[in-house]
């Protein structure tokens, strides 16, 4: 249990037998009436975001979420196999739980796997990864300095938009949160 005065971003709460992560919070002290805490909560499993208001000082139930550094080993059908880097235990995670992180997962890459009571909640990648472009159309001569983009397929199979001057075989830095191109890596 924790007081609403102790809320912080990333804290996981157990409300109505569901797990909610605090995305943002704001303590409000109106001129008239009691203080309250306005929060934005994200359902850990479904990703649904809701706004919720709590009276100041009210106790809320917190959930214990263990975050482990794991290494992605291989894909097994629709499941993904990860290994804990400390204990070497292997964990099989369903593709639905891995979600969009699968677009940027390469074998032997590190990720953070969050669990609650032995159930995997989500897989969190670093904010950016370096991947190689396996296919993209060649840019036209003269298009090198304009701000246009073209689709490119990465070595994981994900497709992103890249500047026209990039070619097949080039390594690029990609934001794992939204799949945007961040820059070229030499």
CATH number at residue 179: 2.40.50.140
Ranges of residues in the chain with a pLDDT under 70 are 140-147
Q: For residue range 77-110, what is the model confidence (pLDDT) as tens digits?
A: 999 999 999 999 999 999 888 888 889 998 999 9
CA 172 to CA 59: how far, in whole Å?
Answer: 47
Please give the residue range of the domain that contains residue 165: 128-185
For residue 111, what are its two tokens?
Answer: 């990720």
Output the pLDDT for position 70. Answer: 94
Say if residue 42 is in the same domain as residue 72.
no
For residue 59, what are its two tokens?
Answer: 């106790």
Domain harbouring 53, CATH code: 2.30.30.30
Say if residue 92 is in the same domain as residue 78.
yes
Residues 143 and 164 sit within 8 Å (Cβ to Cβ): yes
Q: How many CA atoms lie within 13 A of 136 on its CB side?
A: 27
Say if residue 78 is in the same domain as residue 117.
yes
Q: For residue range 66-78, what is the model confidence (pLDDT) as tens digits?
A: 889 999 999 999 9
**Domain tally, the chain:** 3
Question: Among the three residues 60, 83, 106, which one is the final residue of a domain in this structure?
Answer: 60
Rg (CA), the chain: 21
């Amino acid at each position: 249990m924790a007081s609403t005065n102790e809320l912080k971003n990333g804290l996981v709460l157990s409300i109505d037998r569901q797990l909610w992560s605090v995305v943002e919070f704001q303590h409000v002290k109106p001129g008239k009436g009691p203080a309250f805490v306005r929060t934005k909560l994200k359902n850990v499993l479904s990703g649904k975001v809701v706004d919720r208001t709590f009276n100041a000082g009210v106790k809320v139930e917190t959930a214990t979420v263990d975050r482990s550094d794991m290494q992605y080993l291989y894909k097994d059908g629709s499941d993904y196999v990860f290994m804990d880097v400390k204990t070497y235990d292997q964990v099989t995670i369903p593709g639905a739980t891995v979600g969009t992180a699968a677009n940027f997962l390469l074998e032997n890459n590190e990720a953070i796997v969050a669990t609650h009571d032995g159930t995997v909640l989500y897989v969190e990648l670093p904010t950016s990864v370096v991947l190689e472009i396996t296919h993209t159309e060649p840019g036209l001569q003269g298009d090198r300095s304009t701000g246009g983009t073209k689709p490119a397929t990465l070595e994981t199979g994900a497709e992103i938009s890249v500047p026209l001057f990039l070619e097949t075989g080039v390594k690029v830095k990609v934001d794992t949160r939204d799949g945007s191109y961040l820059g070229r890596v030499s």
